[in-house]
Copies of this chain bind each other. A is one copy, B any other.
Amino acid sequence: MTKDDADLSLILHALADPTRRSILNRLAEKPARVTDLSEPTGLRLPTVMRHLSVLEDAGLIASSKEGRVRTCVIVPEALSPVRAWLDEHRATWEARLDRLEALATQIAKERAR
């Protein structure tokens, strides 16, 4: 497994959780303190911190601490490997879909005779 592949796995794992995706949505609007992310969602602080740690390990967010206050920001370019993977596979997959459709049309025509 290459480093890129390991990074992609970390990112996809981080995105695979709906709570983590909702945290990202929230941070996409503006940076937020850890308590800002906990209070409105009703999530307990340790739960939020665990999710933030997974997001930070994947490079999807960054955080900084001033005094006792930790602020989180998203790292938008961190989604690039997912986009690249999808684009890379799109061509192959779509070509395959086209062939399957052509085959289905052909079978349908033959049956109609």
Contacts and interface: CB of A to CB of B under 8 A. Distances in A.
Interface of A: 1, 5-6, 8-9, 12-13, 15-18, 21, 24-25, 28-29, 74, 76-77, 79, 82-83, 85-86, 89-90, 92-94, 96-97
Given A13-B13, A97-B77, A92 B29 contact: yes
Contacts of A8: 18, 21
Given A76-B97, A97-B76, A92 B28 contact: yes
Could you tell me the dominant secondary structure of chain A's interface residues? helix
Nearest to A82: B86
B82 A82 contact: yes
Nearest to A94: B76
Nearest to A12: B16
Q: Which of A16, A17, A77 has the most CB of B within 10 A?
A: A16
A32 to B, nearest CB: 13
Q: Considering the complex of A and B, which 9 residue pairs feature the smallest CB-CB distances, nearest first?
A: A12-B16, A76-B93, A13-B16, A76-B97, A28-B92, A5-B18, A12-B15, A1-B18, A12-B12
